[in-house]
Amino acid sequence: MSNLVSNELTLEPSDHKRLASLCGPLDDNIKQIERRLGIEITYRNNEFKLVGAELQVKSATKLLKDLYIETQPVRGQLADVDSEKVHLAIQELKGLEQAAPKNYGKEIHIKTKRGVIKPRNPNQSDYVKNIFTHDISFGVGPAGTGKTYLAVACAVEALERQDVRRILLTRPAVEAGEKLGFLPGDLSQKVDPYLRPLYDALFEMLGFEKVEKLIERNVIEVAPLAYMRGRTLNDAFIILDESQNTTVEQMKMFLTRIGFNSQAVITGDITQVDLPRGIRSGLRHAVDVLSDVEEISFNFFSAGDVVRHPVVARIVMAYEAHDKQREKERLEKKALQEAQNQEQSSQQNRNDQ
């Protein structure tokens, strides 16, 4: 118990409404911080006492200060601190502890209805920097690591800086392991369900009305991958989402569409391929073929980079462990079969002699 330290913190100015927002209903936010950082927090009014390991206490102190700043009223309306905001702040804090680069979190600042968008961990920071410094960037990893969201944010910033004249968002129209059958409506209505995550990110960053106007003017174009063939895309920021569901031919076709003053970001999760059995993923193939091309960057995310609900990271890790165990069993079975075949061959040779 001697390695435990305590720290007292007074949050100023004292405001019971802001303090209530910080602590959350029934102290849910405080409990979440205690659980995630392994410390104990007690408070009375605006005076807090934190007890735990030294590093965790320092981290929690900074976290409480930062979150209290977040509660400052905006245009007279109190800003709410919910469990998601606490979770993201903890993720960002852990990223800073992992020897992040000096410019960590400063590569991108886009004001949206939800505040400022910025990287939440070192891998996201490297990803954003690579997008800014490479013509073609790959973001490969599990769901919830911010691959698509940050790519759309970079595209929005490039458009607002007038580095590009338009944004083009595309993804292969492949069902996630199920057959949807005939979809009613015109072309845009048929492909909209596949492109909804991209629309959602745009709406959040720019607002519904502005996105609709930009789409009408073809400044933002959202289209299925099949409609990219034959085009040359100049002065554009192009995002290919769910690229694990491209075929090798589709990936090659997409990469050769990129024109002058354009950049492309390709995102995907090679563990969630929905292609028919026996068809190789274009993303897997591209990682193997293009890994040595200097102008192309690759960022690989893991379960530790997941910025959604904490249980999502544990789900991803459980699947990864299961896949590794299956691969180990497959290799052991293959080695055993080869040994048995070799033994049978040797026995046959002895019998022939």
- DSSP conformation letters of 265-330: EEEE-TT---SPTTPPBHHHHHHHHHTT-TTEEEEE--GGG--S-HHHHHHHHHHHHHHHHHHHHH
Architecture of domain 102-313: 3-Layer(aba) Sandwich (3.40)
257, 226 Cβ separation under 8 angstroms: no
Sheet with 220-224, edge to edge strand ranges:
220-224, 166-171, 236-240, 263-268, 136-140, 296-300
From first to last of its 353 residues, the chain has per-residue pLDDT tens of 447 888 999 999 888 989 999 998 888 889 888 877 888 999 999 999 999 888 889 889 999 998 998 888 877 777 788 877 887 788 777 655 544 444 444 556 666 655 677 787 888 888 988 888 888 999 998 878 889 889 998 898 888 878 888 999 888 875 444 444 455 555 555 556 667 778 888 888 888 889 889 989 989 988 888 777 777 788 899 999 989 989 999 999 999 888 877 889 999 988 888 888 888 999 999 999 998 888 899 999 887 777 655 665 567 667 767 777 887 888 888 888 888 888 887 777 777 76
Domain residue spans of the chain: 4-93, 102-313
Fold of 4-93: Ribosomal Protein S8; Chain: A, domain 1 (3.30.1370)
Q: How far apart are CA 53 and CA 48, in angstroms?
A: 16
Return the pLDDT at 178: 43
Q: Please state, as a whole number, how many other Cβ atoms lie within 10 Å of the Cβ of residue 293.
A: 11
* pLDDT given at position 92: 74
